[in-house]
């Protein structure tokens, strides 16, 4: 068993192969955290691992589908056993399957709920056992502004992300006495693969509704995660932090 009792914390990050998840993993590693990288794409995970190690950090790869509850929980347990602890969980993995309500199939709804909400529940349950033993933990769930205000054509996605808020706040109440915090970060429009296909007209409308008049970068979300994962955020729990350039403040 490798131990991390030398002061280094251990994080498990889902959806870590690209975009926001990759930026989160890089930022946590930069701060000295040992990071377990989880995603379906083993090749891209390997590239992120190499990038972290080249910068002097430490990372391991856990290729898996977060929709597979047994594999996800098993990977979290394995990481905690390997390092002797698990301190930070970031549930970032997510999918969209957009469509108007009357055209959305049961399968489209269920698939998004399974990946975006149920996987977070499974991961939180698995991680909580280890965090409670260590009497320290930071659970950070990546939501969306869609979960705060809804979005036409995203009934499934908005429902999953709204559910994530309720899940997180319940966890915060249950685990607070054990030194574990739980919070949600709700990104707005961020420059990722998900937003790359936005038509220019839609992009212009979005920018006009944002106080900062720009789309976010994955690093903007990573910075918020690093804060909530750190000691300075030890008295913050059950909160939703919208990192959205002012999109939802009205």
- Can you list the alpha helix ranges (DSSP code H) found in 91-231? 106-113, 119-134, 146-149, 155-175, 193-196, 200-209, 218-229
d(CA 29, CA 43): 19
CA angle 63, 242, 207 (to 5 degrees): 100
97 is catalytic: no
Question: Do the beta carbons of residue 39 and residue 91 sit within 8 Å?
Answer: no
**End-to-end alpha-carbon separation of the chain, Å?**
50
Please pick, among 64, 157, 175, 180, the residue that the annotation labels catalytic. Answer: 157
In the block, which residue shows the tokens 């889902």?
14
Positions marked catalytic: 157
């Amino acid at each position: 068993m490798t131990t991390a009792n030398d002061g280094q914390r251990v994080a498990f990050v889902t959806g870590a192969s690209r975009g926001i998840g990759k930026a989160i993993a890089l930022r946590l590693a930069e701060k000295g955290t040992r990071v377990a990288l989880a995603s379906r794409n083993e090749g891209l995970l390997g590239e992120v691992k190499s990038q972290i190690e080249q910068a002097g950090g430490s990372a391991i790869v856990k290729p898996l589908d977060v929709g597979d509850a047994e594999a996800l929980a098993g990977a979290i347990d394995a990481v905690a056993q390997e390092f002797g602890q698990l301190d930070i969980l970031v549930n970032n993995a997510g999918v969209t399957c957009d469509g108007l309500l009357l055209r959305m199939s049961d399968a489209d709804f269920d698939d998004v709920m399974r990946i975006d909400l149920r996987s977070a529940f499974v991961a939180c349950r698995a991680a909580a056992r280890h965090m409670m033993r260590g009497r320290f933990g930071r659970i950070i769930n990546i939501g969306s502004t869609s979960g705060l205000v809804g979005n036409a054509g995203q009934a499934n996605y908005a429902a999953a992300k709204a559910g994530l808020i309720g899940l997180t706040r319940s966890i915060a109440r249950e685990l607070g006495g054990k030194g574990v915090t739980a919070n949600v970060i709700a990104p707005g429009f961020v420059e990722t693969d998900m937003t790359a296909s936005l038509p220019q007209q839609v992009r212009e409308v979005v920018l006009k509704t944002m106080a900062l008049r720009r789309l976010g970068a994955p690093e903007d979300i990573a910075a918020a995660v690093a804060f909530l994962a750190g000691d300075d955020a030890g008295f913050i729990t059950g909160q939703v932090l919208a990192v959205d350039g002012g999109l939802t403040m009205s």
